[in-house]
């Protein structure tokens, strides 16, 4: 299967992806909030909407980056370096500003499932941070000289989405406990912020040092 990265690459991607998935953000805030205010069914529908948005990001990122690679391997390398710098910024921002997770404290007007699904798609598609993250994160695990770069980029993006399913469903089914923990101990989110920042920063530094080692 030529679209599959090496096992060592896939292992590194999986570890990093799990940390990213568990890092609180707009998507998690949305489906967690919908679960708490309208039940698990609404939470699952909102998560499905967000996942559809991620699929769109994956397709555009894979084909856009593969077109860039076809035009110039140097430009592709430049994107990887810029991506590593962006990951450093994300790590710094996580420590400086803290978690983006907000637990709703009051009831909101109920929405039907179609509206919830559409909102999930929209929140994801219109979030520039997600666009930038996918464009800079995925290339870190692909070599510019790889003739199968496009298919591997697409595979990693879809694998990221599939990997998120059990974690996000677990968050939805444990929404009440998570909300209670966050309200009782806000410091728990800061622990997640520091773990997220440490992994991304270490990963970014390694990537930036790679050209020097060569």
- Burial (Cβ within 10 Å: 0-12, 13-18, ≥19) of residue 160: buried
DSSP one-letter string for 164-192: HHHHHHHHHHTHHHHHHHHHH-THHHHHH
pLDDT digit string, tens, across residues 16-36: 888 888 877 777 778 888 888
- How does pLDDT run across 89-126, given as a tens digit for each residue? 877 877 776 655 555 555 567 788 899 999 889 888 87
List the one residue out of 199, 52, 194 whose CA is nearest residue 119: 52
DSSP string, 68-113: HHHH-HHHHHHHHHHHHHHHHHHHHHHHHH--------S------H
Q: Given pLDDT bands bounded at 50, 70 and 90, which one contains residue 212?
A: very low
pLDDT at 117: 93
pTM to 2 decimal places: 0.74
């Amino acid at each position: 299967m030529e679209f599959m990265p090496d096992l060592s690459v896939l292992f590194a991607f999986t570890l990093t992806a799990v940390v990213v998935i568990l890092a609180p953000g707009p998507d998690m805030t949305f489906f967690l909030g919908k679960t708490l205010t309208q039940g698990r069914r609404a939470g699952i529908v909102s998560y499905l909407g967000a996942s559809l948005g991620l699929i769109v990001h994956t397709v555009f990122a894979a084909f856009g980056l593969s077109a860039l690679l076809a035009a110039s391997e140097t430009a592709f390398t430049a994107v990887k370096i810029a991506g590593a710098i962006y990951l450093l910024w994300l790590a710094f921002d996580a420590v400086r500003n803290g978690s983006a997770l907000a637990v709703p404290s009051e009831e909101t007007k109920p929405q039907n499932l179609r509206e919830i699904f559409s909102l999930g798609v929209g929140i994801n598609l219109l979030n520039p941070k997600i666009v930038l993250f996918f464009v800079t994160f995925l290339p870190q695990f692909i070599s510019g000289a790889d003739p199968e770069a496009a298919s591997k980029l697409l595979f990693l993006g879809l694998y990221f989405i599939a990997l998120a399913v059990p974690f996000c469903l677990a968050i939805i089914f444990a929404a009440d406990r998570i909300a209670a923990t966050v309200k009782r101990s806000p410091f728990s989110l800061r622990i997640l912020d520091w773990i997220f920042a440490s992994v991304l920063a270490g990963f970014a530094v390694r990537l930036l040092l790679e050209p020097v080692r060569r």
